[in-house]
Amino acid sequence: MTFKPEPLPVTLARILLLLLALALLAGCGSRQAQDSLVGSTAQRLVSYAVDDLAGALPTSDFTPLSGKRLRIDSHFLGDEELQSYADQRLAMELRARFDIEVVPALVPADHVLTVFYTSLGTDQGHRGFFLPLGFVPGLDEATRLNLVTLEQFHGVAELYYYLDRVRADETLRARRRTDALGLPIITIPLSTLP
């Protein structure tokens, strides 16, 4: 019996089919927003992001208000408790750093800070190569086997504001990260929270 090699186009077609199958099995990335702050890590990530956001208030806008009364009027499409926490953190930063007296809504104020929170929460992402196993009966649809991935879990806080009806030049953003390298058997933390 003699060995007869397959024609090149058939071999090339099989290689391309194999590469296509591997590409379909190995995901490139995904991102997921988390609905609530379940767990200490999520709460800490968002709290630290809000702290960073408050620390980013520009001195050029708020130093001239030292000794004045300011009312915070904030708006957010999400969780009212989280909005209230962020408001209180901003108020504390304004008092401590700029000596501004933050007053409640019914008390007359010299200035009004209108805040629009565009993000207060967490998001998760997975980038790299993994085998999705959610199609296997009995497994959760998010189940996967990491080959080499970067697993991202971030706290995000973002706002823009008007000071006495004048919009600030830029949107303030803060992101706290905890990332890990996902391998088939072990996950290695790349960053940790303080």
> Residue 39: what pLDDT?
79
**Contact (Cβ atoms closer than 8 angstroms) between residue 121 and residue 31:** no
**Dihedral angle at the C-alpha atoms of 165, 166, 168, 171, nearest 10 degrees?**
40
Tens place of pLDDT per residue across the chain (194 aa): 566 665 656 666 677 666 655 555 544 544 444 455 677 888 999 999 999 999 999 999 999 999 999 999 999 998 899 999 999 999 999 999 999 999 998 999 999 999 999 999 998 888 898 888 888 888 888 888 888 999 998 999 999 999 998 999 899 999 999 999 998 888 899 887 77
Pairing of strands 144-163, 69-75: unpaired
Ramachandran sector of residue 164 (left: φ over 0; alpha: ψ -120 to 50; beta: rest): left
Q: Return the CATH number of the domain spanning residue range 29-124+153-177.
A: 3.30.2300.10
Position 32 scores a pLDDT of: 47
Asked if residue 158 lies in contact with residue 54, where contact means CB atoms within 8 angstroms, the answer is: no
- pTM for this prediction: 0.75
**Helical H segments across 1-160, by residue range:** 8-25, 40-55, 59-62, 80-98
Determine the Cα–Cα distance for residues 43 and 166; give it in Å rounded to an integer: 32
| Contact in structure between 134 and 141 (CB atoms under 8 Å) | yes
Q: Which two tokens stand for residue 49?
A: 């992001």
Domain range list for the chain: 29-124+153-177
Q: Residue 8 and residue 34: Cα distance in Å, rounded?
A: 50
State the amino acid at position 111 in one-letter form.
Answer: H
CB atoms within 10 A of CB 185: 6
